[in-house]
Structure 1
């Protein structure tokens, strides 16, 4: 019975507290929201325009879900939700929020005194546009942060996460809800890169404060490893002889030959935005380096279609204990784009670099 109470409201049809309209609209996204008329609902949600409006159908006697724009409201950009003296014509936007996919109206600011571009107006309203020009789709910052946490904690894929948002919008006719899956993948890619730039200090000019580190790097550095001139002094005369090893920087390599990737059709435009500044090297530079590595005749015949310049290696080793070269052309690596990864790390297991392997341990 307590759950059924939310399917109706005893105040429906009575005079609203504003004395100008009848009570007809409820909000389940707000905590203990008192049903009001449409105008009061808009007034109470100027700072939260993505709450669903549950509007009572007086003919069918039940609540129907509507976006706030169906009540006559237009989300105004550039004035913190307030009115604009020279607003542009409203545009129909598809905005993805944590409670679903909204088809709502948005008006850009047209004030001549301070007229930022449309991208800045959207971003300052915590809306991430899907495209740089002529965008009609945007994602709220909250939904991007929420997906990032779900993806890291529970390994939830973007397809499943967006599918849940579609069902939150309409759990009966989900196929009729606009599905911005392709835009979502692209926006998440850019969002993660910008977040990485911010957290690594590149947006704050951290390279000027840490000149001993590679310029523009996006690594998470080990705070315990000694960095001469930064957190340690290797020439300190007070360091006891038996503790001098603490000033030593140690590096190790570790390979994972089970981390494989099979050949598959991928989007050629889905490229890394880091450009070799993070853990993996730049693709073209790494490919050119691999072309100079000797390989066996069997491997050479397999990779000539993708690598033009391949250096042929001498005959395989006959040593029973040297199995690295002899395993390069095993059948288990057939149809694989990557046959493993190798990580360079410090003694505190902070990853410093990664590379993919092709055809065994190459």
Structure 2
């Protein structure tokens, strides 16, 4: 590298490497294997490379010089009109140049002359600055891929020319930004989606006459969302910084939009009755001081008036009969949608009675909603949607959010055009990747279709024929009428789930009735027998928590970690000592055993808090104990076992999803580390559930013998390591034999008759697995249809481009050939 700062072979010969006559003192930093040349030769050889950077040897080192200073003039015509004060911006830097425009009587304008050599001028009137097409294209791609701002890019070019900052030149940043914005725009419109159904372009003949079982394939999926990171300060205004388009791309017509907001913007909006969704409940209270725009809404603002206008604007030119609409707050937003629609202009209104319109909540956002919404608005349990998740806008936001900070300071028109540009690039990348993405999705869908079919067969074989017929009729009736409140939802449990909290409530209510009858058996003024047993189970869980924390510290424990552990142990010790005082009242037989522990002089350091025995009724062996306490522990342990199994099933579902997501989408060390941490957290919860179930099962077996319980297990069984498997194991390849469905998936912890049977839970699980099988089957069918639509769309678009090339009538034969060549190039790409 240091050799590049010397003259190379010029040390032994001082003559020009080109002509061999004159002394060579100049060399080019950008030519391939540059030699030393004289002034005349370096100017002549750079007649077609005027953007190269040249240096001059001063007997000690090289110093920067410009080709303009050496006498290079760029002649754009044969009759000369001098312009000595011209600047050309290229990928190698910012170059002062001498440009000679053509001065003939029939010469084109200076703007045209610059454009014909591939230089984009800053103005149409006497331009003195231009940018090469190649540099603008390069910056365009960098702005998409690296989110480079025009300010950063321009000043990087300045440093390429002079990294010392000692040469003070006129700042042309604003001129550069204007040229880039104009060059990128060029009247661009929106990029259409080849996979979406578009009548007359990619739908089969007579698609409107398709039977009900096929009509859903020609439905439109719309995903709605808002992004409050895309704010804009009150900078400039529309008259000073207008957009270069008027809704040609991805924005609605602003005049109509603002008129609608002015006329109806003061109307009150109802609060959400489902989820505590801040974007809705705080829509009127969001801080907007100093902001011209608080965010951006897309059909891909959470105030209904904003979203209503965007939604109906999107559907103005669609004639499709099936619409599937997903929105984070669809459960609330859709309620009065058709009533609000009448406030819009007539040409924005939708003839909804003749269409099938369904509303969904995206899969990632659904858990934040109440249980009823999680079944009514779920993609998972709905027919004819495939594996749609409704989260497409979130993926687009992840692409656009990195430029949010730079757009915050833009004027309205510049911001509009920049967003249009980035959205167009995102759509274009999706379009060119459709072949690979659809193939990948099809392979996955076919594999999962087989896997879920096998799982459903195993589950289906575990139920009776009568149940199968009844449950099928019930779920099909709901699928035909999902919004009919009179039709029971098969995905909702009809009976009460057995939970530990529910069992505690039942026991407390029982004690309340005894108090009314004057039969209070409490021996403590504040702690009843059921509360006493419940507190014991809570202490038992805290002991397991402290033990897990200590185990996770490893061999090299820091002082901070030791302090945290000791604090947890001290707190737990105090809780246990307080509980034992109550224990002596309800279990006097334990007084002798616990006397040491409750003595003030006892040494708390003898045993760690997590190792102390609590001596609940199930752990005292044959010692006498009131049957009421055993019965209370029985009820709570039974509920605890069912509670734990539900949490264990959730952990297995989450872990399977994380493993699949990690395999398909996570790349790089940072992302893999975060994914691994999430997996370890879920695995820890799974291990805790297993330990809690073992404790419950052991206690139930002991108490069952003491209380004379027979056939109490219902669906409960000993939990073996092989039982802890997901319903669909992503590590098992379909076709490797039938996999046995473990017992934890054949029961759902539902008590329908007080006898521990699980028929209702079995029905819910059967309906869910059946829905998954249908979703994957529909996904295969939908992907096949989208593949056909993509091919058909590109054939249509290629034909359309061919026609465009022959529509124009241009006197300039060169321009006409260029138009037809461009159209042919686009047709070839299609």
Shorter-normalised TM range: 0.7 to 0.9
SS at 1:291's partner residue?
Answer: helix
SS at 2:252's partner residue?
Answer: coil
The answer to whether the aligner puts 1:93 opposite 2:48 as a matched pair is: no
SS at 1:104's partner residue?
Answer: strand
Q: Hey, what's the Cα distance between the residues in 2 that align with 1:238 and 1:287?
A: 40
Q: Hey, what's the Cα distance between the residues in 2 that align with 1:91 and 1:243?
A: 70
**Shift in Å at residue 326 of structure 1?**
5.7
Q: Which structure is higher in RCO with an 8 Å CA cutoff and minimum separation 6?
A: 2
**Shift in Å at residue 331 of structure 1?**
4.8
Residue 138 of structure 2 corresponds to which residue in structure 1?
146
Residue 327 of structure 1 corresponds to which residue in structure 2?
282
Residue 137 of structure 1 corresponds to which residue in structure 2?
129
- Structure 1 residue ranges without an equivalent (≥5): 79-83, 198-217, 296-312, 352-362
Residue 275 of structure 1 corresponds to which residue in structure 2?
246
| TM-align CA RMSD | 2.9
Residue 61 of structure 2 corresponds to which residue in structure 1?
62
| Greater strand proportion | 1
**Shift in Å at residue 190 of structure 1?**
0.5
Residue 310 of structure 1 corresponds to which residue in structure 2?
none
Q: Hey, what's the Cα distance between the residues in 1 that align with 2:116 and 2:273?
A: 65
**Shift in Å at residue 21 of structure 1?**
1.7
Give matches, 1:1-362, under 5 Å. Answer: 2-11=1-10, 14-16=14-16, 17-58=18-59, 61-78=60-77, 84=78, 86-112=79-105, 114-174=106-166, 176-194=168-186, 197=188, 218-233=189-204, 235-236=206-207, 242-256=213-227, 258-266=228-236, 269-295=240-266, 313=267, 317=270, 327-345=282-300, 349=392
1:79-135 deviation digits (Å, cap 9, x = unpaired)? xxxxx2x211233101111111111110101233x4111101011111111122122
Q: Hey, what's the Cα distance between the residues in 2 that align with 1:55 and 1:9?
A: 13
Distance change (3 Å), C-alpha of 1:87 and 1:271: same
**Shift in Å at residue 234 of structure 1?**
5.3
Q: Hey, what's the Cα distance between the residues in 2 that align with 1:179 and 1:8?
A: 33
| Greater helix proportion | 2
For normalisation by structure 1, the TM-score amounts to 0.74
1:150-206 deviation digits (Å, cap 9, x = unpaired)? 211111111111111111111113560332111111111111101x63xxxxxxxxx
Q: Hey, what's the Cα distance between the residues in 1 that align with 2:15 and 2:291?
A: 70
Distance change (3 Å), C-alpha of 1:238 and 1:6: farther
Judge conservation of contact 1:150–1:156 (CA < 8 Å) in 2.
yes
Q: Hey, what's the Cα distance between the residues in 1 that align with 2:62 and 2:156?
A: 22
Judge conservation of contact 1:75–1:107 (CA < 8 Å) in 2.
yes
Judge conservation of contact 2:73–2:98 (CA < 8 Å) in 1.
yes
Q: Hey, what's the Cα distance between the residues in 1 that align with 2:242 and 2:117?
A: 28
Moved more, 15-24 or 176-185: 15-24
**Shift in Å at residue 7 of structure 1?**
3.1
**Shift in Å at residue 6 of structure 1?**
3.1
Q: How many aligned residue pairs are there?
A: 301
Distance change (3 Å), C-alpha of 1:340 and 1:237: closer
Q: Hey, what's the Cα distance between the residues in 1 that align with 2:83 and 2:232?
A: 47
Q: Hey, what's the Cα distance between the residues in 2 that align with 1:318 and 1:144?
A: 48
Q: Hey, what's the Cα distance between the residues in 2 that align with 1:318 and 1:4?
A: 73
**Shift in Å at residue 53 of structure 1?**
1.4
